[in-house]
Structure 1
Amino acid sequence: MAHVDTGDTGEDEDCFEDAYDKIPAACHMDLHTSIQETQCALNLVLNNKFSEALDLLKPWWKDSMYHALGYSSILVMQATMTFEHRDIQAAMATIKEALNTCQRFRKKNSMVGSLSSLISKQSNLQEEEMHAEICYAECLLQKATLTFVQDENMISFIKGGIKIRTSYQIYKDCQNVLNATQDQANQSDSFRQFEGGVKLGIGSFNLMLSLLPQRILRLLEFIGFSGNRGFGLSMLREGASSHSLRSILCSLTLLFYNTYVSLILGTGEGNLTEAEALLEPYQHKYPKGSIILFYSARISTLRGNFEKAQSRYEECISSQQEWRQIHHLCYWELMWTHSYQQQWQQAYHYAELLCQESRWSKAIYVYQKAAILSMMSEEELRRTGEDVVLLFRQVEGLKQRLAGKSIPTEKFAVRKSRRYKTANMIPLVLPALEMMYMWNGFSIVGKRADCTEALLITIESAEIQLQNDTNPSEFHQDDSCLVQMLKGLCLKHLGRLLQAELCFTQVLTSESRIKFDHYLIPFTLYELGLLYKQQGDVTKAAAYIENAKTNYKDYSMESRLHFRIHAALNSLRGSPVGTP
């Protein structure tokens, strides 16, 4: 529905002739129609019709801010999933053009706060200015994301940070506009769409900033950032329950927070009841939608229903073939659901597929494959035809750099795999379970007593092997402490809290004898703190977690632990940090 603002019928017909490479200036897409068409494109994406969505948006993406935002969003999503240089370059060119499109609709002095004086007049032009600010802010965030993954130097990192800072300020100004006008009666649909954009942006910023450890947050507050988790969640929930273009995006943000962020960067206490309620209406609307099927499977995983999750992931894979990157997400999850059940042959199958097809992190994939193979019996390993030592030795050459720095999980994998480079190499002990812990997988396995018991048997078998080692290596003490920490985790989830405490304490009393895996001490202090929290001893819990936070530094996966510590201390205080 392009709208044609001419009085001549012949010109109307000319406007739609195939001969035109570019739609003539006489043709005009109004704001309401552009939002409707972008909603249609979003529906197509959620129904796995990715190319059709792009085809719908493409004719107007250089002339309509919402078409530009929608078109660039799909290409940016594709680029961040493929990690292909060609896709990143194409997405970056598109996002620059989208920013130019949005810029043409922005208030000329670009002072967002002054929009409040225009709202009472409610002219189409002034509405467009409001929406242009929101679309511009969203495009800036997309460009920042691409900037982080496109180049490896610190300059790019700083440029990305500046874009985020600008986007954040625009959202704050738009929130001021919203606060100043939300009592007005008879608000238009256009204004409600604007409100949905503000709630998505402000809610997401507050939620994500609230996750940051205090030392980082203090630095960001100095330059104007602040984050309140409760406020961010409430904004996203309001946005999710509204009838706007961005309501599904608010829901997906909350789903991602409850099913991934709270687990990997938190204490593993995502709100699965909320996640299921958010997903339920979309399961009816998009029953074969790969994104919806994926989150349904993820919730089943977190519930401990691994069999149902595996079936859903397989359904997600078969639902579409256009974006194979969604298949890779499913392979990663299937690898873990089989690992939780110690079905190593099946886990290896998906690890191998990731190694062959995905560009996200070759170092992690190869390390993970080698770690899984290390858990197999000699007979099973022989049947795969793989050389575990050779795989571990490949890891270091595959690591990437982001903003001039190594990715922490890759760094961890590289450091662990170096044990295989020496002539008198000493194999790693339970490497797949160690990596499972790094992804907070024990809090998932802990939902299933049968799987946890089976893991405990495997861990105790490794413990006996180490105890019976007549010629202990220089890694012996580190390996013994790792085994004790993993054993303590299993015992904790089985409700055998006193035995778990003894395991954790044994690690801590061995601190002076640990030579390489220094991360074990702060992580164990953190786990012991969570154990005391579970027992209701908040004071003791806080003391151990604060000890891990304050007295240890420069160890593997330090930033991930600090995220978890921040979440744990937050939950101990019983209230989120910061102010809206």
Structure 2
Amino acid sequence: MTLQVCLEECMEALDLFLNNHFSESLDKLRPRAKESMYHALIYATVLEMQAMMTFQQDDIVNAGNTMKSAQEVFHIIDTTLHADACYAECLLQRAALTFLQDENMVSFIKGGIKVRNSYLIYKELHTFIQSNSSLQGPNHIHLEGGVSFGIGAFNLTLSMFPPRLLKVLEFAGFSGDKEYGLSQLNDGATTNNLRSMLCALLLLCYYTFLTFILGILLFTTRKPRMRSVCACGLLVGGTVMTICHQAVVLFEDGCKAQQQWKQFHHMCYWELMWCFTYKCVWRMAYFYADLLSNESRWSKAMYVYMKAAYLSMLAPGEARPFGEDEVELFRQVSTFKQKIAGKSPPTEKFAIRKARRYKASCPVRLPVPVLEMMYMWNGFSMISKRPELTEGMLQTLVEAERILLESPVNEYSMDDRCVIHLLKGLCLKNQGHIRAAEECFNKVYNSEKKIKFDHYLVPNALLELSVVYIDTGRKEEAIKLLVKSWLNYDMDNIQLAGFSCTGKTEQLPPVRQGVPVCVYLSITTGTQNQIKEVSIKMLVS
């Protein structure tokens, strides 16, 4: 087969995949997976996507072996730019599987070497293409798309790393320029090439999932080549309008669109769980958390915690679904702890810490565990434009505060009150009650020395207060508050509601009207206090 025929057949296989014909897609690729580099790569890629979703060890091993076999196909082909691009992509995907497959340091180092080798190949290819603009041919667009995907994925991913780690990676030759990464992915997604789907999906993932978690409500206008009934498309569409009434219908349609890969259903279940959380429909949210805990392997600790949290929001005498008890569920959370790429997910760590109090013989209930976790996933920003949802949250918090004040004082009382103050402040800010919101955030800050366990509350309260100051034109006060927060607390991993910024200080973009300050104060210029203060001033100027 000629290279052009191979590419055309692989494009057809990807179209089958995007339209939910997963088995047919694999059947089309399998016969030539040992003789065509593109067939080998795409076949292995589809299997890796399956492994990523199932999180089953057998699927991960199978995908890794298939990817390794694909590399052997590249070796028997004459060295070409296309083979180099395929090899780099294969290395990158094998590294991802290595991180998932094993948690030990040796595997982590092996995966890191694969990532570095992949990055260097992509850089060389990118430089060559840029310096040889006269290169043409019917298949050149596919090569450019592959390089755009690799360079874009690396830059975008690295730009979101914590600044300390990014400094080390930059010393090792990596770079993480978010805007450049997005532009490369956009170039790859808007041309008709083999990797356009991968570029588009990565962009959609960034704009609908990552920015949602980080707090930037921006949505891409680019869409991959897929029909409206595609499970991926329905999932993305529902995520973009998670708080709209159409979201539930779209996610439910996403589950109906195909039955072969149940893991697509799990992503829809997760979004449906939050849809009903925003509406304070605890039983329906519990139903989807229960489905996830029974079927998905991705974060069982989180799913069990959310099940317990939803049950705890029901009235004490109200019947629990399936006869389950929230206390027993909270006690089980830590037993499901897991590591991905050698690290425990931060939200799992948070859930395990919060559930510890239920291990006592006489546990003290969490007042609003669902809403606290909702804050961790930036849910209060998501409902900021829906006054009826914000009002429902506020009423839930007012009732929880009443119950807490009427209960006997215990070692958790002050922490629980501060949790409620922080979340009430967010609701009041959404409603435009600025003075009342400030008062709530200040109550948390003034209680700093009395907080025993939830030490994240004070820096987050200060940061939310600084956002209020910036929204109301009090920039100097906001700068002082941000400097105080950053100098007194470990701010590299503190969640803020707003704009993400990583890079040298001279590259910091001005904050646009109506856009909050930042998500993570990821300034990579150093740790000196003076540099931090200058960075903050530039950020809010």
- TM-score past 0.5 threshold: yes
* Change over 3 Å in CA distance of 1:560–1:338 after alignment to 2: farther
Q: Of the candidates 124, 134, 145, which is equivalent to residue 173 of structure 1?
A: 124
Which of 450, 456, 460 in structure 2 is aligned with 1:523? 460
- The residue aligned with 2:95 is 144
2:494 corresponding residue in structure 1: 561
What amino acid is aligned across from residue 201 of structure 1 in structure 2? G
Name the CA distance, whole Å, in 2 between partners of 1:315 and 1:520. Answer: 39
Q: Give the Cα separation in 2 of the matches to 1:141 and 1:363.
A: 28
1:431 corresponds to which residue?
Answer: 369
What is the match of residue 46 of structure 2?
74
Match of 2:418 in 1: 481
Give distance in 2, aligned partners of 1:536 and 1:97. 60
Whether 1:503 and 2:447 are equivalent positions in the alignment is no
Matched, 1:188 2:132: no
| 1:299 has 2:236 as partner | no
Q: Does 1:88 align with 2:55?
A: no
Amino acid in the other structure paired with 1:35: L
1:306-321 to structure 2, matched below 5 A, reads 307-321=245-259
Q: Does the 8 Å contact 2:378/2:497 carry over to 1?
A: no
User: How far 1:379 sits from its partner (Å)?
Assistant: 4.2
Partner of 1:100: 72
Cα distance in 2, alignment partners of residues 75 and 356 from structure 1: 23
Structure 2 unaligned residues grouped into runs of 5+? 512-521, 526-541
- TM superposition shift of 1:146: 0.8
**In the TM superposition, what is the alpha-carbon distance from 1:231 to its structure 2 partner?**
1.4
Q: Secondary structure at the match of 2:500?
A: helix
Cα gap change, 1:562 to 1:420, in 2 (>3 Å):
closer
Q: Structure 1: which amino acid aligns with 2:45?
A: S
Q: Paired residue for 1:158?
A: 109
Q: Which of 308, 323, 346 is the matching residue for 1:370?
A: 308
Compare 567-576 and 509-518 and name the one that shifted more: 567-576
CA contact (8 A) 1:210 1:578 kept: no
Q: Which deviates the most, 530-539 or 62-71?
A: 530-539
Tell me the equivalent position of 2:536.
Answer: none
Q: Give the distance between the partners of 1:479 and 1:106, measured in 2 at CA.
A: 65
Distance 1:568 1:376, change over 3 A: farther
Structure 2 CA distance for aligned equivalents of residues 566 and 442 of structure 1:
15
Residue of structure 2 equivalent to 1:64: 36
Higher mean C-alpha deviation, range 98-107 or range 542-551: 542-551
Q: What is the distance in 1 between the residues matched to 2:95 and 2:480?
A: 38
Which deviates further from its counterpart, 98-107 or 504-513?
98-107
Q: Deviations over 1:325-368 (max 9, x none)?
A: 00011111101100110011111111111111111111111111
Say whether 1:223 aligns with 2:165.
no
Unaligned runs of 5+ in 1: 1-28, 108-128
**Correspondence for 1:52:** 24
Q: Taking structure 1 as reference, are residues 365 and 559 closer, same or farther at Cα in structure 2, changes over 3 Å only?
A: farther
- Alignment-derived partner of residue 323 in structure 1: 261
Answer yes or no: is the 8 Å Cα contact 1:153–1:402 preserved in 2: no
Counterpart in 1 of 2:356? 418
Kindly provide the amino acid, as one letter, of the partner of residue 270 in structure 2. Answer: W
SS at match of 2:222: helix
For 1:91, give the aligned amino acid: A
Letter in 2 for 1:491: L
- The whole-number CA distance in structure 1 between the counterparts of 2:171 and 2:17 is 39
Distance 2:497 2:169 in 1: 19
Distance 1:220 1:376 in 2: 48
| Aligned-pair CA distance for 1:493 | 1.5
Distance 1:495 1:501 in 2: 11
Q: Which residues in structure 2 correspond to 1:161-560 (within 5 Å)?
A: 161-182=112-133, 184=134, 187-264=136-213, 266=214, 268-272=215-219, 275=220, 277-279=221-223, 282=225, 285-301=226-242, 304-305=243-244, 307-382=245-320, 384-469=322-407, 471-553=408-490, 560=493
Question: Aligned partners of 1:532 and 1:189: how far apart in 2?
Answer: 56
Q: Which has the larger radius of gyration?
A: 1
> How far did 1:566 drift?
8.2
Amino acid at match of 2:237: S
Find the aligned partners of 1:207 and 1:520 in 2 and give their Cα distance: 30
Q: Deviations 1:72-96 (Å, cap 9, x if unpaired)?
A: 1111110111011111111111111
Whether the 8 Å contact between 2:37 and 2:83 is mirrored in structure 1 is yes
Give distance in 2, aligned partners of 1:315 and 1:191. Answer: 38
After superposition, the Cα gap between the structure-2 partners of 1:399 and 1:220, relative to the gap in structure 1 and judged at 3 Å, is same
Q: What is residue 6 of structure 1 aligned with on the other side?
A: none
CA RMSD, 1 decimal: 2.2
534 and 426 in structure 1: CA distance in 2 versus 1, 3 angstrom threshold = same
C-alpha displacement of 1:181: 1.4
Distance 1:404 1:46, change over 3 A: closer
1:452 & 1:289 partners in 2: Cα distance? 32
Greater CA drift, 566-575 or 390-399: 566-575
**Amino acid corresponding to residue 349 of structure 1 in structure 2:** F
Q: Equivalent residue for 2:510?
A: 574
The letter for the 1-side match of 2:146 is G
Q: CA deviation at 1:176?
A: 0.4
Alpha-carbon separation, structure 2, partners of 1:376 and 1:572: 46
Q: Structure 1 residues 530, 83: CA separation in 2 closer, same or farther (over 3 Å shift)? A: same
- Structure 1 pair 72/537, CA: closer, same or farther in 2 (3 Å)? farther
> 1: CA distance between counterparts of 2:499 and 2:406?
40
* Per-residue deviation, residues 183-226 of structure 1 (Å, max 9, x unmatched): x27x2121111111111111121122222232221111110111
Offset, 1:40: 0.7
CA distance in 2, matches of 1:577, 1:417: 33
In structure 2, what is the Cα distance between the partners aligned to 1:401 and 1:211?
A: 20
- Structure 2: distance between partners of 1:45 and 1:522: 46
Q: Counterpart of 1:251 in structure 2: which amino acid? A: A
Cα distance in 1 for residues equivalent to 2:321 and 2:499:
45
- The alpha-carbon deviation at position 245 of structure 1 amounts to 1.4
Counterparts of 1:271 and 1:146, CA distance in 2: 30
- Cα pair distance change 1:258/1:566, threshold 3 Å: closer
Cα shift at 1:464: 2.1
TM-score, normalised by the number of residues in structure 1: 0.84
